[in-house]
Amino acid sequence: MSNKLIVTRQRDLEQAADYKEWREIAVELDTLEGAAAWKQDDTSDDYDYLLIKERLAEMRALRKGGDVRQLVFNLYEGLHGNIGNITNPALYGVARVGTKLLIEQYVEEVARCLDYLCIGDFPDFPEDEKIIFFKRTGTVFGRSALMLSGGATLGMFHLGVIKALHERNLLPKVISGSSAGSIIAGVVGSRTDAELGRVFEPGGLNLRAFQSVSLRNIFKGGAVMDGGQLERCLAENVGEISFTQAFERTRRIIGITVSPADPHQQGRLLNYLAAPHVLLRRAILASCAVPGVFPPVMLEAHDYLGRVVPYMPSKRWVDGSLANDLPMLRLARLHNCNHYIVSQTNPHIVPFMSDVAPKRGLIPLARELASSGSRGALTLARTHMDPYGAGRIINKLDNVTRQKYSGDVNIFPRHTPKQLLNMFSNLTDDEIQRFIRDGDRATWSKIDRIRNQTRISRTFDECIGILKQRAIEKAAAPRKKASLRAVK
């Protein structure tokens, strides 16, 4: 009876209408299949459960006892994201919902302690010390980023991922996009939370980005698609704002990767720090310029007077996925990111993605040998090629094979041959809604993991926001009193 029930509930899980229903069935299956009992058992070779249990007991006792100075000291010296290996993927591959309860309790206790220190009024822990503590400890702990890959129209899957995270207040402030992913990143980065929900509705976006050019243009060596049509699409969806204006409007940190069309240039991550006045739509246009499909792009920016002017006018830029589909190192350096949620839709990568951590065996070995062999062949070819002719093509291929295409949490679709055939075709509203549903559903199984692994960094952000607001109000109070005295 139990096996039949499990099979039935597994079928129900696949057909769940929304996340609430999916989660209820998943929790039931965890009980039926034994994963709930596994969660109750603290012990495991996959993490240092003794260390986590000890630190949990210490924090809980210090908070309940009101020993603020010792609690601050302990958090200062022992708080980091992967303490005791608690983010080990193996710990999230047993249960459908969550992980070891000890880990979940530890994470919640850290968040509770941070809230306690932030909101409480302590004579021996004044406001200025609080600000220093939260800024320093938060910097050491790090933050999460959402990374949206390339994939042409397959990248509309990202919309569903964004929807799932946004509806549960789990959308990171740092979002990067390459190629198709840059379109979605730009859409999210130019809309407030109140506006973002409308994007997921039928007709919420104009995504008619593809229009072929004449055969004469193609035979002259031009691109297959009209860059002007794509730019008109971006202007309607993103507008004329710069990276800085987008950040000031939404407080989201958007990064767009672009690759050089010319030699002697490196790929770039454009954002409000590295390219503050560059127009967001032009950066996206460049990131989407797949060689041979769309023409290379010159960037544009606002000048001192707010006029639109060329940016590095002698340089042209192309598809961001070629140089850096997932710019993890640059996000780490610029925005203190050390945890990456990846929505991956590149058709040459997705077939090799898996929810299960790779095990030893012939298939993983064969994949690694094929990958290392292709990289070696490209390196050898590059040394014997003209660097300004075929050598440049080899360099681009070498960049593609050397990149890392996965993060700490990976969300990816199930591609079909029909989807691949329509990669550079305009989508109907129904097709876009189908991509959104697929992305939404693919994210459900990762929600608890993302919530757990981002809980502490989100608490740091919230606490720092509260402390900053208090400081602003405190600074404004004397001025307000002085103005009232002047009126009297």
Show pLDDT as tens, one digit a residue, over the chain (488 residues): 578 999 999 999 999 999 999 999 999 999 999 999 999 999 999 999 999 999 999 999 999 999 999 999 999 888 988 999 999 999 999 999 999 999 999 999 999 999 999 999 999 999 999 999 999 999 999 999 999 999 888 999 999 999 999 999 999 999 999 999 999 999 999 999 999 999 999 888 877 654 443 334 433 444 455 667 788 888 888 989 999 999 999 999 999 999 999 877 888 999 999 999 999 999 999 999 988 888 899 999 999 999 999 999 999 999 988 878 889 999 999 999 999 999 999 988 888 887 655 444 444 444 444 444 444 544 544 454 455 444 444 455 445 556 788 899 999 998 766 666 666 677 788 888 999 999 999 999 999 999 999 999 999 999 999 999 998 888 876 665 555 455 55
Contacts 24+ apart (CB under 8 A), 268-271: 268/317, 269/176, 269/324, 269/327, 269/330, 269/331, 269/334, 270/243, 270/299, 271/243, 271/334
| pLDDT for position 18 | 96
Q: Where are the beta strands (DSSP E) in 118-244?
A: 143-148, 174-178
Maximum pairwise Cα distance, the chain: 85
Q: Where in the chain is the domain with CATH 3.40.1090?
A: 144-353+405-444
CA–CA separation, 134 and 146 (whole Å): 23
Side chain identity at residue 255, one-letter code:
G
| pLDDT for position 333 | 94
CA–CA separation, 278 and 263 (whole Å): 22
| pLDDT for position 119 | 95
Which of the residues 30, 226, 319, 440 is marked catalytic?
A: 319
Structural element, H or E, at residue 8: helix 2-14
pTM of the model: 0.86
| pLDDT for position 247 | 97
Which of the residues 149, 179, 182, 321 is marked catalytic?
A: 179
CA angle 391, 397, 400 (to 5 degrees): 145
| pLDDT for position 317 | 95
Catalytic residue at 178? no
Catalytic residue at 149? no
Residues 187/156, Cβ–Cβ less than 8 Å:
no
CA–CA separation, 276 and 268 (whole Å): 13
From residue 304, give the alpha-carbon distance in Å to each of 196, 276, 278, 307.
30, 12, 12, 7
β-pairing, 253-260 with 174-178?
parallel
| pLDDT for position 78 | 84
| pLDDT for position 62 | 97
The CATH code of domain 144-353+405-444 reads 3.40.1090
β-pairing, 143-148 with 174-178?
parallel
| pLDDT for position 270 | 97
CA dihedral 458→460→465→467, nearest 10 degrees, is 160
Give 227's Cβ-side CA count (13 Å radius): 24
Structural element, H or E, at residue 303: none
